[in-house]
Amino acid sequence: MSIPSAPHHPLTDTEVRRIRNDFPILSTQVNSQQLIYLDSGATSQNPLTVLEAEQEFYEQRNAAVHRGAHTLAVDATDAYEAARETVAAFVGASVEEIVWTSNATEALNLVAYAFSNASVGRGGPDAQRFILRPGDDIVVTEMEHHANLIPWQELAARTGATLRFIPVDDDGALRLDDAATIIGPATALVAFTHASNVLGTINPVAELVALAREHGALTVLDACQSVPHLPVDVHALGVDFMAFSGHKMLGPTGIGALYGRSELLNAMPPFLTGGSMITTVTMERAEYLPAPARFEAGTQRISQAIALGAAANYLTETGMQRVQEWEEHLGQQLVEGLNELPGIRVLGPGAGVNRIGLAAFDVDGVHAHDVGQFLDHQGIAVRVGHHCAQPLHRRLGLTATTRASTYLYNTTDEVAAFLAAVAGVRPFFGVK
Non-local (6+) Cβ contacts of 97 within 8 A are 88, 234, 259, 260, 261, 262, 265, 291, 292
388 is annotated as an active-site residue: yes
- Alpha-carbon distance values, 194 to 141, 203, 281, 422 (Å): 11, 5, 40, 29
Interior angle at CA 337, CA 331 and CA 340, nearest 5: 140
148 DSSP assignment: G
Burial class (CB in 10 A: 0-12, 13-18, 19+), 66: middle
Buried b (16+ CB within 10 A) or exposed e, 344-354: bebbbbebeee
Q: Specify whether the CB–CB gap between 314 and 297 falls below 8 A.
A: no
Non-local (6+) Cβ contacts of 113 within 8 A are 151, 155, 271
Q: Specify whether the CB–CB gap between 320 and 231 falls below 8 A.
A: yes
Enumerate long-range contacts of 353-356, CB under 8 Å, 24 or more apart: 354/202, 354/328, 355/199, 355/200, 355/201, 355/202, 355/328, 355/331, 356/195, 356/200, 356/202, 356/225, 356/226, 356/229, 356/230, 356/327, 356/328, 356/331
- Alpha-carbon distance values, 58 to 61, 102, 113, 183 (Å): 6, 19, 33, 48
- Alpha-carbon distance values, 211 to 30, 217, 312, 360, 397 (Å): 48, 9, 31, 30, 30
In 12-101, which ranges are continuous DSSP H helix?
13-20, 48-60, 71-90
- Crossing angle of helices 48-60 and 71-90, in 10° steps, is 160
Residue 312 C-beta-side C-alpha neighbours within 13 Å: 28
Report the alpha-carbon distance of residue 202 to residue 53 in Å, rounded: 32
Report the alpha-carbon distance of residue 395 to residue 393 in Å, rounded: 5
Of 388, 390, 391, 429, the catalytic one is 388
> What positions carry a catalytic annotation?
388
